[in-house]
Amino acid sequence: MFALPWLNRKKGHTGGLGEARIYFNASSAENLAKAPGITMKIANALVKYREEVKPFKKPRTCSRFPALRKEVYKQINPQKGTEGELYTVPRKGEKVEEDDDSPLSPSKCLTIDE
């Protein structure tokens, strides 16, 4: 049996449908503070920045946020989800509370008129 080295490489976030996500443009400061390397002070600054300056569109835009040092950026490893929202995953063992304003996929946005 031979090994396929690229199958064992982990790039970005792994996981699947059950993966907890922390959304940069929708999560509360409390949830943002559960991401690796993000303190409550940084989380509050992220919320203020996205509300007063602009939301985060691409992973690279997170690196331009003044409070995120290069080491923290590498720890959070921001990803763009299939729904287009920028997210990270919580530190191991952290549970993310469900935010009221979490992004919805298009299928959840449809309404049926009677």
Residue scoring higher pLDDT (103 or 29):
29
Quote the CA–CA distance of 8 and 20 in Å, as a whole number.
Answer: 22
Q: Concatenate the DSSP letters of all residues of 29-55 into one string.
A: HHHHTTSTT--HHHHHHHHHHHHHT--
DSSP reduced 3-state for 75: helix
Using one digit for the tens of pLDDT, what is the confidence trace for 42-62? 999 999 988 888 888 888 888
Amino acid 98: pLDDT: 76
Query: Could you tell me the pTM of the whole model?
Result: 0.68
Residues 33/65, Cβ–Cβ less than 8 Å: no
Compute, in degrees rounded to 10, the torsion defined by CA atoms 83, 28, 37, 15.
-40
